């Protein structure tokens, strides 16, 4: 497993060099040790030969006077005296006819040397001869062979001494090589970290100055590249932010202006099926502006407007998915996704703040407000007309409450009903799924089909290939389809949000086991993104189930990412460890600095849908093109969502947008209509575009 991972991801240059130097050093010093011992063996063989030859000559001369029959006893005695010294393997004396006269042989014995060493470095003492004369007559031939025992011991001692010396030299050489390589490669590690940071969309300058000229050139080249990317990013970001402020920001208060409100209103209205009756619009009128201007001057009037902007924007910013706008000289508006209970609370809070700020200075009161739910497909002008009417009515009737009742709203559930609904959504997960093992996971999740539906919609590139498929979950109870945001809002209010999110993820994972190869996006809620308990559970579950899942992508809102960039980066790092892609949606909706994306290792950005519907405007096209250049410069792909017509798609096809999504291209489909009716639990297939309809009339989401 380790070897496969090593060859898949590659071996570092540092390790390769260390291995190369180590192998070469070990080979070189091993060969030197072997040659040293082999040379010593040759020397000892020559010594044994010289020793045997000298002994043969001297013994031959010593016994030559005793070659008669009586003297052979003396000759043999003299031979015994020499042989008993132990330095000879055998001594043999034969006559001219080859007849053995006498012989002495030494057994091999134990030399005190390992047998393997003797087998590797065998000594071959030669048999040396000398003719023995009897006067003028040759009496016979004497053969002498030296004994190798002492030589083996000398050779073994020499080998041990050489081994110690060689190992010491090898150790010193390796230490020196390590120190040299470390000095050379440390800058390379810094270069590698810088390159990894660039891949992860983090552009930092490398301050090292390597001694090695080639590395210094590489460092300078990468630093220049990073500086160019940073300069380009900063220039384009400043341009985009300046354009955004000029077009969408009120210069006096710093709040989004009327145009930003219209774009956001249209964006939420287009997603009404998801938001349902949580879509609220409110107006706040600074009713005493003319009186302050006339009596105290325009400077005081400006201060009066600023105080109202600060008071109400602080209050509205505490709401989830709420934005405060200045839409005219004396009027503000706020847009939010609220439950009915939350709408009543904010209405009362605004009224209370107005009462606190009111004084005799403000002839017509500090301010007046009105708040209403927005009907499905209701025009912005119609909603504002209803709010204006209520403002006038409140001013003359001295009514502090501003909540306007709208007609034709969806059915509202009581708190008791919501408790029952959410219990149905979460209890089964807590009791059956949360503790089951991976083998039983699919079987345990089957009952979730009764309360959840998985919806899919593709994101396609310019070549009509699927980049990924986005998934949505639809909640249903006894045939009634519930607003997704209503369900999550009530789950948060009742304290079961984490269990609901876990049940939804389990359902999606259970369904995605039927899909292979195609990357599928899963939406991560604002709170889940920054909940360490949930994220740890999410990645643990993925680690257990990843073999049965297709490639994944996690999507979350820009507003969620900016709540805590630290926890967002931590979530992204964990996802990248499992090769999970990351996308930020509704990019640009917050009208804040775009610099934060430079330090996030994300793969896709979905621009806010309001820019998509307004793409026919020249300044919007320029803004989107600028954002596209910024993101392409740091390796992020751009996606345009909610493309509802061919004309909008044509605009984006000319702007180098990487992906398109919307009912004008491919409608949302229920996953149950894609799976074959006879599909088994082991059935899997890659999603293709022919699985989705081109019809603009999409299924309920």
- pLDDT at position 335: 84
pTM for the model: 0.66
Average pLDDT over residues 652-661: 84
Q: What span, in angstroms and rounded, lies between the C-alpha atoms of 184 and 173?
A: 16
- pLDDT at position 6: 46
| pLDDT-derived band at 448, boundaries 50, 70, 90 | confident
- pLDDT at position 184: 75
CB neighbour class for 199 (10 Å; exposed up to 12, middle 13-18, buried from 19): exposed
Mean pLDDT across the chain, nearest whole number?
Answer: 80
Q: What span, in angstroms and rounded, lies between the C-alpha atoms of 411 and 486?
A: 12
DSSP state letters, 423-450? HHHHHHIIIIITT--TTTHHHHHGGGGG
pLDDT per residue over 268-310, tens digit each? 777 765 555 567 888 888 888 888 888 888 888 888 888 888 8
Query: Are the C-beta atoms of residues 338 and 280 closer than 8 Å to each other?
Result: yes
Would you say residue 573 has pLDDT above 60?
A: yes
Tell me, what DSSP letter sits at residue 97?
Answer: T
Query: Are the C-beta atoms of residues 350 and 334 closer than 8 Å to each other?
Result: no
- pLDDT at position 275: 53
| pLDDT-derived band at 9, boundaries 50, 70, 90 | low
683: Cβ–Cβ under 8 A, 6 or more apart, which residues? 514, 675, 676
| pLDDT-derived band at 680, boundaries 50, 70, 90 | low
Residues pairing with 644 in the sheet = none
- pLDDT at position 522: 92
Query: Are the C-beta atoms of residues 629 and 426 closer than 8 Å to each other?
Result: no
Per the structure block, which two tokens stand in for 597?
């994306």
Q: Among residues 388, 272, 268, which one has the least CA distance to residue 321?
A: 268
Query: Are the C-beta atoms of residues 638 and 603 closer than 8 Å to each other?
Result: no
3-state secondary structure 276-330: HHHEEEEEEECCCHHHHHHHHCHHHHHHHHHHHHHHHHHHHHCCCCEEEEECCCC
Strands ordered across the beta sheet of 279-285: 322-326, 331-337, 279-285, 368-373, 403-404
Query: Are the C-beta atoms of residues 557 and 586 closer than 8 Å to each other?
Result: yes
| pLDDT-derived band at 552, boundaries 50, 70, 90 | very high
Comparing 122-136, 142-156, 216-230, 268-282, which segment has the lowest mean pLDDT?
Answer: 268-282
DSSP state letters, 574-595? HHHHTT-EEEEEEETTT-S-SG
Query: Are the C-beta atoms of residues 422 and 496 closer than 8 Å to each other?
Result: yes
Q: Which of 138-142, 404-408, 478-482, 569-573 has the highest mean pLDDT?
A: 569-573
pLDDT per residue over 390-420, tens digit each? 776 665 545 555 566 544 344 566 677 778 8
pLDDT per residue over 52-82, tens digit each? 888 888 888 888 887 777 777 887 888 888 8
pLDDT per residue over 602-614, tens digit each? 899 898 887 887 7
Orientation of helix 72-83 relative to helix 13-63, angle to 10°: 160
User: What percentage of the chain has pLDDT greater than the value 70?
Assistant: 90
Instruction: Name the residue with higher pLDDT: 460 or 200.
Output: 460
CB neighbour class for 456 (10 Å; exposed up to 12, middle 13-18, buried from 19): buried
Tell me, what DSSP letter sits at residue 256?
Answer: B
Do you know the residue count of the chain? 701
Gyration radius (Cα) of the chain, Å? 45
Q: Which of 354-363, 484-493, 526-535 has the highest mean pLDDT?
A: 526-535
Per the structure block, which two tokens stand in for 278?
């949580």
Per the structure block, which two tokens stand in for 477?
């109870």
- pLDDT at position 59: 81
- pLDDT at position 699: 44
Q: What span, in angstroms and rounded, lies between the C-alpha atoms of 685 and 520?
A: 13
Cα dist from 173 to 25, 26, 455, whole Å: 8, 10, 66
- pLDDT at position 93: 85
pLDDT per residue over 355-404, tens digit each? 888 887 887 788 888 888 887 777 788 888 788 777 766 655 455 555 66
Per the structure block, which two tokens stand in for 57?
């000559």
Q: What span, in angstroms and rounded, lies between the C-alpha atoms of 17 and 12?
A: 9
Q: Among residues 418, 443, 420, which one has the least CA distance to residue 432?
A: 443
Q: Among residues 680, 617, 701, 674, which one has the least CA distance to residue 651?
A: 617
Comparing 236-250, 299-313, 395-409, 481-495, which segment has the lowest mean pLDDT?
Answer: 395-409
């Amino acid at each position: 497993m380790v070897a496969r991972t090593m060859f898949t991801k590659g071996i570092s240059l540092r390790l390769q060099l260390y291995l190369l130097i180590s192998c070469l050093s070990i080979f070189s010093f091993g060969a030197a040790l072997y040659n040293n011992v082999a040379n010593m063996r040759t020397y000892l063989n020559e010594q044994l030969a010289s020793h045997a030859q000298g002994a043969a000559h001297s013994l031959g001369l010593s016994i030559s006077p005793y070659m008669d029959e009586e003297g052979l006893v003396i000759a043999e005695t003299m031979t015994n005296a020499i042989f008993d010294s132990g330095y000879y393997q055998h001594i043999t004396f034969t006559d001219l006819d080859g007849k053995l006269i006498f012989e002495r042989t030494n057994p091999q014995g134990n030399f005190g040397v390992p047998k393997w060493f003797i087998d590797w470095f065998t000594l071959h003492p030669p048999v040396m001869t000398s003719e023995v004369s009897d006067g003028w007559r040759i009496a016979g031939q004497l053969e002498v062979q030296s004994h190798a025992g002492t030589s083996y011991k000398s050779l073994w001692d020499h080998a041990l001494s050489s081994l110690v010396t060689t190992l010491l030299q090898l150790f010193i050489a390796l230490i020196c090589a390590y120190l040299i390589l470390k000095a050379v490669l440390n800058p390379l590690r810094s270069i590698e970290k810088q390159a990894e940071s660039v891949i992860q969309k983090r552009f930092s300058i490398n301050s090292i100055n390597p001694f090695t000229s080639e590395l210094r050139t590489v460092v300078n080249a990468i630093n220049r590249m990073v500086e160019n990317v940073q300069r380009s990013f900063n220039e384009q970001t400043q341009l985009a932010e300046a354009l955004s402020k000029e077009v969408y920001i009120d210069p006096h208060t710093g709040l989004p202006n009327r145009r930003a409100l219209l774009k956001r209103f249209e964006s939420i209205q287009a997603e009404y099926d998801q938001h349902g009756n949580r879509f609220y619009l409110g107006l706040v009128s600074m009713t005493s502006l003319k009186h302050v201007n006339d009596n105290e001057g325009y400077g005081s009037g400006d201060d009066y407007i600023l105080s109202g902007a600060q008071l109400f924007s602080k209050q509205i910013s505490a709401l989830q998915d709420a934005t405060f706008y200045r839409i005219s000289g004396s009027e503000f508006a706020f847009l939010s996704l609220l439950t009915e209970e939350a709408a009543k609370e904010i209405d009362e809070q605004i009224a209370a703040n107005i009462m606190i700020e009111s004084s005799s200075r403000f002839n017509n009161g500090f301010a007046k407000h009105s708040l209403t739910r927005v009907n499905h497909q209701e025009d912005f002008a119609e909603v504002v007309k209803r709010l204006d009417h209520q403002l006038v009515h409140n001013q003359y009737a001295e009514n502090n409450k501003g909540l306007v009742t709208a007609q034709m709203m969806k059915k509202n559930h009581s708190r008791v009903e919501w408790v029952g609904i959410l219990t149905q959504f979460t209890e089964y997960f807590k009791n059956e799924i949360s503790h089951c093992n991976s083998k039983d996971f699919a079987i345990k999740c089957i009952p979730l089909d009764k309360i959840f539906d998985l919806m899919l919609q593709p994101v396609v590139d310019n070549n009509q290939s699927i980049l990924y498929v986005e998934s949505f979950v639809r909640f249903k109870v006894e045939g009634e389809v519930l607003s997704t945001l209503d369900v999550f809002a009530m789950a948060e209010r009742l304290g079961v949000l984490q269990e609901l999110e876990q049940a939804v993820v389990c359902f999606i994972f259970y369904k995605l086991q039927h899909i292979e190869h195609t990357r599928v996006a899963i939406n991560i809620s604002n709170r889940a993104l920054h909940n360490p308990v949930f994220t740890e559970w999410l990645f643990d579950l993925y680690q257990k189930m990843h073999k049965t899942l297709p490639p994944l992508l996690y999507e979350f809102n820009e507003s969620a990412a900016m709540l805590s960039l630290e926890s967002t980066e931590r979530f992204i790092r964990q996802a990248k460890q499992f090769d999970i892609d990351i996308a930020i949606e509704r990019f640009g909706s917050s009208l804040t600095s775009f610099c934060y994306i430079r330090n996030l290792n994300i793969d896709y950005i979905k621009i806010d849908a309001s820019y998509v519907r307004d793409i026919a405007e020249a300044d919007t096209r320029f803004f989107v093109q600028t954002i596209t250049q910024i993101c392409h410069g740091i390796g992020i792909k751009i996606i345009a969502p909610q493309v509802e017509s061919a004309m909008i798609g044509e605009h984006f096809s000319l702007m180098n947008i990487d992906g398109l999504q919307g009912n004008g291209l491919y409608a949302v489909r229920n996953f149950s209509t894609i799976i074959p009716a006879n599909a088994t639990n082991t059935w899997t297939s890659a999603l293709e575009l022919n699985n989705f309809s081109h019809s603009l009339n999409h299924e309920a989401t």
